[in-house]
Amino acid sequence: MKFTKIKKQSLLPAYLIIALLLFSGKHAALFGQNNILVFQSDFGLKDGAVSAMKGVASGVSPDLKLYDVTHEIPAYNIWEASYRLVQTAPYWPAGTVFVSVVDPGVGTNRQSVVMKSRSGHFFVTPDNGTLTLVAEQLGIQEVREIDEAINRRKDSNESYTFHGRDVYAFTAARLAAKAISFEQVGKKLPAGVVSIPYQKATFENGQVKGGIPILDIQYGNVWTNIGKEVFNKLNIKIGEDVTVLVYNEKQKVYKGKVRYVNTFGDVKEGENVGYFNSLLNFSLGINMGSFSEKYKVQSGNEWSIVLTK
């Protein structure tokens, strides 16, 4: 459908196309990449690894806009890499290129890919599960394998352990700068990616069940993957209580009632709340406190949550 639109516009007179290009920020999805490159990794900020990647990108084109998701993904934690991408990508304009390097298999034969989402974003990464959530929530438009014969930094063949710099940053920069088209990344793959299995939110027998994919670490809030549509089947109104059970595997870690509110300021300091977070998922918190710390609740595949009225 997007292709159709491009064709139509190519019939417009040149001056109109130029006018459109002047406003291309808003139409980036039609024209592809938008010169913005956003980095994510588990490298941390204490050494020079992130800087080396940005240096390579600046060498491809000094006009790229280089930003970050985070470089504090816990080492090797592909699941969190996947979560942070889906937490942020939708807020960046279509045409933005993301490069995510959480790559415990670096130098082995896992595939290096670029996925274009239906939302018009590009994701450059090892295909090791990092794409799980963006593929699901933004949709897969097309996946291509990075052809390292072409898309690899010159003279980098002796280095096996830093594909972030030599392959991913380099390819992502060339793509963002339109030095290569999406097609020139490499051959088209079947439209699927490696996906990490996880518990989805469900409603059954008056109970909502869900997962705890991640913590809101800075404040100690506990984020579930239960969206409003599923939650609303409990028919609980703002100001009413929700009964909450949190499990680590089969072990009950927390049982209690929390007040369902819009925001923390709706209760006194130190009081527990249930609320919908900035991604509109049900979350647990304490006004001016840390739910996660107080009740020893963590996140990940082995954690689950049950809500009842």
* Binders in 210-229 for its own copies, by CB under 8 A: 214, 216-219, 228
CB of 13 to its own copies, least distance (A): 26
DSSP character string of 43-111: S-SSSSHHHHHHHHHHHH-TT-EEEES-S-SPTT-HHHHHHHHHHHGGGSPTT-EEEEE--TTTTSSPP
Between 3 and 91, CB nearer to its own copies: 91
21 binds its own copies (CB under 8 A): no
**Among residues 5, 51, 255, 296, the one that binds its own copies under rule CB under 8 A:** 51
> Which residues have C-beta within 8 Å of that of residue 1, sequence separation ≥ 6?
none
Q: In this structure, what token pair is assigned to residue 218?
A: 């800075």
139 binds its own copies (CB under 8 A): no
Q: In this structure, what token pair is assigned to residue 247?
A: 């499990």
78 binds its own copies (CB under 8 A): no
45 binds its own copies (CB under 8 A): yes
20 binds its own copies (CB under 8 A): no
Q: 3-state class of 201 per DSSP?
A: coil
**Among residues 9, 70, 207, 243, the one that binds its own copies under rule CB under 8 A:** 70
Between 98 and 247, CB nearer to its own copies: 98
Question: How many angstroms separate the CA atoms of 295 and 255, rounded?
Answer: 10
**Among residues 46, 154, 237, 268, the one that binds its own copies under rule CB under 8 A:** 46
> Which residues have C-beta within 8 Å of that of residue 196, sequence separation ≥ 6?
78, 79, 82, 129, 132
> Which residues have C-beta within 8 Å of that of residue 164, sequence separation ≥ 6?
41, 43, 49, 53, 99, 101, 103, 106
Question: How many angstroms separate the CA atoms of 297 and 182, rounded?
Answer: 42
Q: 3-state class of 25 per DSSP?
A: helix
**Among residues 2, 5, 65, 309, the one that binds its own copies under rule CB under 8 A:** 65
- The size of the interface with its own copies (CB under 8 A), counted in residues, is 70
**Among residues 29, 30, 106, 306, the one that binds its own copies under rule CB under 8 A:** 106
Between 203 and 276, CB nearer to its own copies: 276
* Other Cβ atoms closer than 10 A to 81: 28
Between 71 and 259, CB nearer to its own copies: 71
**Among residues 19, 108, 252, 309, the one that binds its own copies under rule CB under 8 A:** 108
Per-residue mark of binding to its own copies, 116-135 (x: CB under 8 A): --------------------
Question: How many angstroms separate the CA atoms of 144 and 106, rounded?
Answer: 18
Q: 3-state class of 16 per DSSP?
A: helix
161 binds its own copies (CB under 8 A): yes
Residues at the contact surface with its own copies, assessed by CB under 8 A: 25, 34-36, 38, 42-56, 58-59, 61-62, 65-72, 75-76, 84, 87-89, 91-93, 96, 104-108, 158-162, 165, 214, 216-219, 228, 262-266, 275-278, 280, 288
